[in-house]
Amino acid sequence: MKLTKQQLKQIIREELEGLLEVGGGTGRGGGSITPPVKNPQKEKQDRCSQLSRKKSKGEEFSEEDQKFFHENCRGTGPTGRNQ
């Protein structure tokens, strides 16, 4: 299949526009190449929630999950009392 210069330019233009819309650009299409800011507290809460759901379903914890859950997720609940 042969492409003319004009067809090639059009394909490249469409691909670049698609990248900019999806987030691969540098500010012209709403995309950003900077990584999201990490929030360690939210990550900890998310993992605790995930492990709590796993526990309520009776699923097994890995050794790493058991240690994390015991050290980070068993503090105070919504009422402020120890769980």
Q: What is the pLDDT of residues 3-61, one digit of tens each?
A: 899 989 998 888 888 877 665 545 455 555 666 778 888 899 999 999 999 888 898 88
Residue 60 lies in a domain: yes
pLDDT digits (tens, 9 = 90+) for 57-71: 898 889 999 999 999
The domain in which residue 59 lies consists of: 40-72
Residue 46 lies in a domain: yes
From the CA atom positions of the chain, what is the Rg in Å? 24
Domain count, the chain: 1
3-state helix, strand, coil in the chain (%, to 5): 55, 0, 45
Rounded to two decimals, the pTM is: 0.47
Residue 65 lies in a domain: yes
Q: For the chain, first and last CA: distance in Å? A: 68
Residue 64 lies in a domain: yes
Those residues with Cβ within 8 angstroms of residue 54's Cβ, 6 or more apart along the chain or in another chain: 61, 65
Residue 48 lies in a domain: yes
Residue 6 lies in a domain: no
Residue 59 lies in a domain: yes
Residue 55 lies in a domain: yes
Calculated CA dihedral for residues 56, 57, 62, 68, nearest 10 degrees: -20
